[in-house]
Every structure is written in C-alpha cells, then in structure tokens.
Amino acid sequence: MQTSQTGLALIKKYEGFSAKTYLCPARKPTIGYGHLIKTGEKFPPSGITEEVADDLLKQDVGVAENAINELVTAELTQNQFDALASFTYNLGAKSLEKSSLRRLLNQGEMELAAAEFPKWIFAGGTRQNGLVQRRKAEMRLFLA
C-alpha cells in the first residue's frame, strides 16, 4: 500500500514546514516537513523551498511505507495505513517494529492496537502536547 493524500496532509499538518534547519524536540537537526538531516546532507543556509521539502517528504514517506508493508501482516484499510504512515514517519521504523501496536495489529486486534497510539507522546524524554494531538488524530483516522 501507499500513503494517500489524506495521510500526507496529516503528516504535513503535524510536522509543519520549516525552510531552515532547526532542532526537533528530540534535539535532532531537521528541515522541511520533519526531514531528519542525515550525516553528509547539506542544505543552503538560506533554506529550502516547499518543492524541495515535498521531495524529501516523499522519500521519507517511502521509507515508512516500506516498513509498514514489511512489518504489518494484517490487512489494513487505507485510513489505517495512513495513520500508521504518520506514526512511522514521526517515530521511525524501529519504533513500529518493536511496538505493541504492531504486535496487536498482526494479531488482528485492531481496537487494542488503536489504543496504543496515545502512549507515544514523548520526545527527548518530555511529554509533547503536539504529539498528544497528533496521536489523537492518528487514532481517529485509524478507527475511521
């Protein structure tokens, strides 16, 4: 499966756009729509355009999609996939892989899996109000 426009809009909403490099709440250098800057990646001090940010988003979402398609054996609706894409984009494939959310999904326990979203609200060891709202939105989409 692939992320729909609904899923991409959710990611963009909660990541927000930044033309210039900033430190995310987990204290990692980030640019665009939450793109974690990899070692060796360089961006102009003047910043990037939304077009460049969209390209980075598509690449990063592709990584999240591959992880979901590989790790989740349950049959998913488009809304469930989109919610997982946002979750995985934000937290990374390793978090999905190790999560009770994935385990419950693969056991077919969709409602129990959905109840796992609100547990993922910390970044850098601190509760983040933005993550509280994002997880609620992901859970709503997952259950829709």
**Could you say which of 15, 65, 116, 138 is catalytic?**
15
Q: How far apart are CA 55 and CA 99, in angstroms?
A: 28
Give me the amino acid identity at 51.
Answer: E
- Helix, strand, coil tally for the chain in percent (to 5): 60, 10, 30
CB-based contacts of 140, cutoff 8 Å, min separation 6: none
75 a catalytic residue: no
Q: Hey, what are 91's tokens?
A: 């937290």
Q: How far apart are CA 7 and CA 77, in angstroms?
A: 12
Q: How far apart are CA 142 and CA 83, in angstroms?
A: 5
Catalytic residues: 15
